[in-house]
Amino acid sequence: MHHISKLPNVGTTIFTIMGTLATKHKAINLSQGFPDFKSDQRLTDLVTAAMNSGHNQYAPMPGRLDLRAAISKKMELLYNSSYNPETEITVTAGATQAIFSIISAFIKPNDEVLLFRPAYDCYEPAIELNGGKPISIQLEAPNYKVNWEDVANKINGNTKMIIINTPQNPSGTVFSKADMLKLQDLTKNSNIIVLSDEVYEHIIFDGETHQSACLFPGLKSRSFVVASFGKTFHNTGWKIGYCCAPQVLMDEFKKVHQFNVFCVNNPVQKALADYLQEPNHYLELSQFYQEKRDTFLDLIKGSRFKFKPSKGTYFQVLDYSEITNAHDVDLAKRLTIEHGLASIPMSVFNSNGLDHHVLRFCFAKTDKTLIKAAEILNQI
């Protein structure tokens, strides 16, 4: 049987490749971004209680109203930004589904979508599946700062959407207030939609403040803010997130969402609605992960790797240029097979596979795991 692929250049993701290698060689897995410790037992108990009390049938299409109300309250508390829980918030099957549905709802053939590289790998395939054209803006290591002049030069009449990710996976950098104001200025008086991927909103370090798109009125009016409970509460396998947007945008999103997943896991939604009543469950996350980042970096300070401390997310980029000239994909595989430590090569997220000789490591791990990983890194 012969068919023409809609994604001819897409193969197995680097996360699957490195995860499989890590399993095969019993390597310490600092590649894919998931914790190796448990989420709060109270939250797990709340899910069990929700199932035992009968919350096992379909939830409403946009999500349980009690959870949407809790999300609305959270956005007010954190950003002093108001979203109507009945019309401007939708609970999704993880952030990736939200991103895919946003792109599917608005991108038509030949629409251009600006994205910043290194970029998380789910953006481009979703754009291409809908006939859109990804327009890449490459950020240079090690600072990964945006050249807004370059962005301005790439905006034209075909530009339908700009995707931002802050704190940014995989670089661990954050957009500043000045960055967001520049984006707001560049999109003013246009029909450009901003997709703001903010799944690491609660993991930001060194006294920085997360600059959500909803903090800026001109951006909020054209933006989807996408978030993840899995990243926040250490249970990525539950695959539950949400997005917020003005009603005129959310109405279009729901048209796709209802035929994509219709609704998501009801007992988990019920549990999260209850768990969110205590804000400290997410307000203390930055300190928790900053301690892990600092532990990891302190453990490898005597290694030959160079680094700038991550500003957000639970990823740390390490520069190996003083160790070897090997391509990052080759080195990542060798580290896994020969040394028993899995990471993610950054070139797979860059334009044309640009190799800055850096690898990404996840530090959302127990101290025991980080100590073992550091021992390997210090020997290289």
* Token pair 């190996």 in the structure block, residue: 320
Q: Given this model, what pLDDT does residue 290 score?
A: 98
Q: Given this model, what pLDDT does residue 75 score?
A: 98
Strand, helix or coil at 67? Answer: helix
The helix (run of H) or strand (run of E) holding residue 8 is none
The helix (run of H) or strand (run of E) holding residue 275 is helix 266-275
Whether the predicted pLDDT of 189 surpasses 90: yes
Whether the predicted pLDDT of 34 surpasses 90: no
Euclidean distance between CA atoms 169 and 199, whole angstroms: 9
Euclidean distance between CA atoms 79 and 206, whole angstroms: 19
Please, which pLDDT band fits residue 10 given cuts at 50, 70 and 90?
A: confident
pLDDT digit string, tens, across residues 341-358: 999 999 999 999 999 999
Closest CA to 192 of 144, 235, 231, 151: 151
In contact, 16 and 348? CB cutoff 8 Å: no
What average pLDDT is seen over the chain?
96
Fold of 41-278: Aspartate Aminotransferase; domain 2 (3.40.640)
One-character DSSP codes across 156-220: -TTEEEEEEESSPTTT-----HHHHHHHHHHHTTS--EEEEE-TTTT-B-TT-----GGGSHHHH
In contact, 173 and 282? CB cutoff 8 Å: no
pLDDT digit string, tens, across residues 327-336: 999 999 999 9
pTM of the entire structure?
0.96
Angstrom distances, CA of residue 22 to CA of 62, 90, 216, 334: 37, 36, 42, 11
Whether the predicted pLDDT of 148 surpasses 90: yes
Kindly report the CATH number that applies to the domain delimited by 14-32+284-378.
3.90.1150.10
Whether the predicted pLDDT of 11 surpasses 90: no
Whether the predicted pLDDT of 316 surpasses 90: yes
pLDDT digit string, tens, across residues 114-147: 999 999 999 999 999 999 999 999 998 899 999 9
Whether the predicted pLDDT of 3 surpasses 90: no
Euclidean distance between CA atoms 8 and 112, whole angstroms: 19
Tokens of 141: 């290591």
* Angle (CA) 207 210 216, round 5°: 135
Please, which pLDDT band fits residue 1 given cuts at 50, 70 and 90?
A: confident
Domain ranges of the chain: 14-32+284-378, 41-278
Tokens of 27: 């390597």
Q: Given this model, what pLDDT does residue 345 score?
A: 97
* Token pair 């401390």 in the structure block, residue: 309
In contact, 328 and 336? CB cutoff 8 Å: no
Whole-number percent of the chain with pLDDT over 70? 100
Whether the predicted pLDDT of 12 surpasses 90: no
pLDDT digit string, tens, across residues 43-88: 999 999 999 999 999 999 999 999 999 999 999 999 999 999 999 9
Q: Given this model, what pLDDT does residue 2 score?
A: 79
Whether the predicted pLDDT of 264 surpasses 90: yes
The arithmetic mean of pLDDT across residues 173-197, rounded, is 98
Positive or negative, the CA dihedral 112, 148, 172, 280 is negative
Strand, helix or coil at 115? Answer: strand
The arithmetic mean of pLDDT across residues 310-316, rounded, is 98
Q: Given this model, what pLDDT does residue 158 score?
A: 98
Whether the predicted pLDDT of 32 surpasses 90: no
Please, which pLDDT band fits residue 113 given cuts at 50, 70 and 90?
A: very high
Euclidean distance between CA atoms 235 and 128, whole angstroms: 30
Bridge partners for 161 per DSSP: 113, 193
Q: Given this model, what pLDDT does residue 172 score?
A: 96
Please, which pLDDT band fits residue 98 given cuts at 50, 70 and 90?
A: very high
Instruction: For residue 339, give the DSSP letter.
Output: I
The arithmetic mean of pLDDT across residues 202-223, rounded, is 97
